[in-house]
Amino acid sequence: MHKQTRFAALCLALVLAAATLVAAQQTIVSPGVHPISGRRYAQTMSYLGADWLDRSERVQEEEPDVALDALKLATGASVADVGAGSGYMTVKMARRVGPNGKVYANDIQPQMLTLLKQRLDREKLTNVELVLGTFDDPRLPASTLDLILMVDVYHEFSQPQAMLRRMRESLKPDGRLVLLEYRKEDPSIPIRPDHKMSVAEAKMEVEAEGYTLATVDERLPRQHILVFTKN
Ligand SMILES: C[S@@+](CC[C@H](N)C(=O)[O-])C[C@H]1O[C@@H](n2cnc3c(N)ncnc32)[C@H](O)[C@@H]1O
């Protein structure tokens, strides 16, 4: 091969290799960024840290009963705890909707559902159905739910748009989708920024999938209560 042709071929190969490297790096460096808000998704909290969900300080930090009071769950309602973890909120919801109501407790980690099952057995609750979901589908029944609650969960979704579309299909026409998220607007709240959400971010992302932000309730010490309705 002519010397100049060989040099041109070498240059072309180098350019192609550099372009491939840049593309690969972008995939690694930006694994999950919301296409509308630009928010980086948080990593899923492993079941190995499930003890943290039951820490005693949580009562003061999150006031879970005050949060549920705000939502006024009706006796007999059908509700879902999406990203239920080990069931800290599930059991409280199950007691509130009562034996004629139903709680679908969903998570993507089977180990979390095993812990949740043990908790339900201890508490002798029989109105909870466990649902193993996937990253893009909570596998909830269609047009059934009065309320879907996500406590410290939404920011972890790696496919939030797909999840929101599926959950929308599971809500009744007047059903509510509720996010409890640590306030990103307040830097003094001691949680990593990617595990917090601002009202503006949540509104932008959730409303894009066919919901309206109906109320922003700030009665909790650290978290927003964001209630969305279906358009
Ligand atoms: C920080 S924990 C909160 C658990 C529980 N809501 C609570 O308040 O104790 C977040 C949970 O969300 C779950 N999660 C993350 N992505 C999910 C998805 N796409 N669908 C369902 N659960 C998900 C994780 O497996 C984890 O159990």
Each residue's pLDDT tens digit, 51-106: 999 999 999 999 999 999 999 999 999 999 999 999 999 999 999 999 999 999 99
Helix (H, G, I), strand (E, B) or coil at 159: coil
* CATH code for residues 36-230: 3.40.50.150
Q: Evaluate if residue 182 carries a pLDDT over 80.
A: yes
Of the candidate ranges 11-20, 146-155, 192-201, the one whose mean pLDDT is the lowest: 11-20
Cα distance between residue 39 and residue 34, in whole Å: 5
Say what the pLDDT of residue 171 is: 98
Tell me what pLDDT residue 29 has. Answer: 38
Instruction: List, for residues 102-131, the tens digit of each pLDDT value.
Output: 999 999 999 999 999 999 999 999 999 999
Whole-number percent of the chain with pLDDT over 90: 87
How far is ligand 1, taken at its centre, from the CA of residue 84, in Å?
6
Q: 49 CA to middle of ligand 1, Å?
A: 12
Q: How many angstroms is it from 164 CA to the middle of ligand 1?
A: 14
Confidence (pTM): 0.88
The closest alpha carbon to 70, from 228, 230, 225, belongs to 225
Q: Which one, of 99, 88, 166, 171, lies nearest residue 133 by Cα?
A: 166
Report the sign of the C-alpha dihedral through residues 207, 170, 34, 198, in that order: positive
Average pLDDT over residues 183-187: 98
pLDDT band per the 50, 70, 90 thresholds, residue 5: low
The best mutation among 108, 132, 134, 179 to test binding of ligand 1, ranked by most ligand atoms within 8 Å of the C-beta, falls on 108
Q: What is the mean pLDDT of residues 145-173?
A: 98
